[in-house]
Copies of this chain bind each other. A is one copy, B any other.
């Protein structure tokens, strides 16, 4: 046990009498665990063990399990008694392999202490390097390495990092001291400081620590070790880590592992280096090594984006027009060894790898490998290429691409022909184009975005504290940092376009101005970035639709072969229908008819209808609406020829069509001829306390059957017209009439009878019949419970999971903002139930309704048309429940197709 952790409550600790294996060792050609132990050892620990197991050069170390993290929090941030001995054994394992001893003044062992959760959380948690250095061992390190400067530089780095991470001191304290030291000496680079300078700097650092804390910097390596372990476990619950988990749907109870590993040094002179590499290009997916390294540096120097790194390959260097030699040129032997390792790891893991390495005096060490994060285009290309290379199967390729990530590919890119006022160029850090107004802080970005504005976050460089602003922004622009800087990595993960390292930008946070090439831009000015080229442009640049061919087409073809469920779209304009068909929609699952009522030429007739005193006046007003409603449907049926079109009859309460403000009332009074008084009286009669639970859906059709009658007539007349047009080409018109908000079987049978009467009348008038279906939305708990009765009158059910979520959970979507985030943060809800279906509550009702509906009508067609239809997790639920189709907004159709394929493949496992 660390001595600074008191044990006030022996009883509690005493409960851990049966020894649990908390510590897993690796290194020296062997390991206790491997890739399969990711849940227990975290991603980093499991992969270090795996690499050690297959004989790759991994510095020896051990992993403290994620279970320890859980236990740590159960004990009120404390450790059980039996951990101490296991950690000691782990240290002995490292000492044995390295031949060094922890705290030894002759051959001191230094270790790193790093976090490693099941899922990667880059930059979110803490790391301490060079642990084990003190006033005694630094001398040993100097003597042994023969490099006094190296030893003192390591020590000063260690003090700075340990003070920041473990002791909670501000890193500016040390940076300031460093700046002063450099100024005093009149040098510019850290590397220009000599051993004695650094030695003096260490003294200053230690003084500052004692000043701040009132006690000296810890000299006992064991104290240092326990402090580091504690800090890493504690960093699991920092605010920024919690936000990251929420944004990435990582459960709070997973916990992190802690990896303690022998240090290797990339900063032991010019035969030493440190770098990061991807086995393929994580931005485009091209099959070429992609990476950066720094000679004579530690790993954090690369990631921090402070020194501009060199390229790994000559091709990469040449393409970028960089000056400094590539690693392929500077260290050809080690590079060759590295390239062999890349091939081995890709084959072993059957996926693109993201690797951290260090070269210590010409010897290669691997510090980490993991499946590399990649952009959506890269994911697509890598999956398709690897299947073509025979490395993975088509099924695996389909499962390799995160459907959610396709979103990036489906949105417009900059029009290549549009005029561009390029003001700067940076690194193409995350693809895609984004326009928005400038925000210089994450808070400002979040605030402006919450007002509905498109925002670009513009920063010198980003840090984990900026995560909420990056999420809120449409794109990120930084003045410093490379392709693997924080901004670049996080932006790629979030699917936000990013241009990093645009060095010509001068950003002044104080005055909130950015100057470049003599031009000044203020907060609120508009910029456009192209994350594919690195260009930064003034103003907004026109965009074009993406071309969905090549790898995308190949993968979607594979996906379509594997999926069972159909994918439809929620669309109500011809333009949306076109887009959806291009994205592969196999019909319309939800065509809302109310939006058609809002158009300027119709709203007057709608209001006349609402103001009617009796049915006959209402019918007159509806007669005016019929032609436009009919022509809406004609257009839709034309675009969707040959595919089913589910039309939902009028759903919202009538007051939604009434004017809102006094000015609106005046205008409507002038336009309609109704007095303001009459309009206001009617609006007040129609006012509802809870419109969501009000006089809407089929309740309107029960009270005012003539409204639904007009809509049914418009549908059938339009269908017959388009059917006649289609007679030549054999495409059929397949209308499916959907009745909303049903709670009893009687409602549906009543409306169904009305629809059938209307159809018969139209068919008789036109002398031609067409096939059509009548069905209902299941969007109230009672409808789900009564599905067996309702199914007797329905040819299909479409689960309206938006409203079903609102009623089942008793949460108004419009009002949930004030507490829903809090609920997810506090773990009271696993996810936002409006984004991903609440399987335990809403999901049970859906499954029950499906079962009961089928008990009456075994052939009933079941689908979903809530927003959940485009959410991969919800699509997986639909597959499990055996639904026939999902329906989602046009841009999510490819996402749903891929998610449906993955769900089908996984369910057949």
Contact = CB atoms under 8 A, between A and B. Distances in A.
B691 A845 contact: no
A741 B809 CA distance: 9
Nearest to A780: B810
B693 A841 contact: no
A786 B841 CA distance: 7
A721 to B, nearest CB: 34
B829 A689 contact: no
Contact of A782 (B695, B702, B809): B809
B703 A828 contact: no
A196 interface: no
Interface string A813-826: 01100110011001
A840 B786 contact: yes
Given A694-B815, A826-B702, A828-B747, A782 B808 contact: yes
A781 interface: yes
A838 B782 contact: yes
A690 B688 CA distance: 9
A814 B689 contact: yes
A812 B786 CA distance: 20
B822 A808 contact: no
Nearest to A653: B815
A699 interface: yes
Contacts of A688: 812, 814-815
Residue of A690, A694, A841, A845 with most partner-chain B CB within 10 A: A690
Given A781-B781, A781-B841, A812-B688, A693 B823 contact: no
A827 interface: yes
A806 interface: yes
A750 interface: yes
B702 A815 contact: no
A449 B693 CA distance: 26
Contacts of A750: 826, 828
Given A810-B803, A828-B747, A844 B690 contact: no
A261 to B, nearest CB: 37
Interface string A767-789: 00000000000011110011000
A746 interface: yes
B810 A743 contact: yes
B809 A746 contact: no
A807 interface: yes
Contacts of A840: 782, 785-786
B691 A782 contact: no
A809 B827 CA distance: 29
A692 interface: yes
Contacts of A692: 689-690, 693, 810, 812
A744 interface: yes
A257 B703 CA distance: 32
A534 B571 CA distance: 69
A829 B786 CA distance: 13
A811 interface: yes
A746 B823 CA distance: 10
A830 to B, nearest CB: 10
Contact of A702 (B781, B814, B823): B823
Interface string A788-811: 000000000000000100111111
Contacts of A838: 782
Contacts of A844: 785
A35 to B, nearest CB: 33
A336 B844 CA distance: 70
A825 to B, nearest CB: 11
Interface string A828-846: 1100000000101110110
A785 B815 contact: no
A627 B828 CA distance: 32
Contacts of A810: 692-693, 741, 743, 779-782, 803, 807
Given A744-B828, A828-B744, A840-B786, A815 B690 contact: yes
A808 B828 CA distance: 22
Nearest to A789: B840
Contact of A827 (B689, B746, B782, B814): B746
Given A695-B815, A781-B841, 10 more contacts: A688-B814, A690-B692, A693-B810, A693-B812, A693-B815, A695-B819, A702-B819, A702-B828, A703-B819, A785-B808
30 contacts: A688-B814, A690-B806, A692-B693, A692-B810, A693-B693, A693-B806, A693-B815, A695-B815, A695-B819, A699-B819, A702-B823, A702-B828, A703-B818, A703-B822, A743-B809, A743-B810, A743-B811, A744-B829, A750-B828, A779-B810, A780-B808, A781-B810, A782-B808, A782-B842, A785-B840, A785-B841, A803-B810, A807-B807, A807-B808, A807-B810
By Cβ-Cβ distance, the 6 closest A-B pairs, closest first, are A693-B812, A782-B841, A690-B812, A781-B781, A780-B810, A689-B814
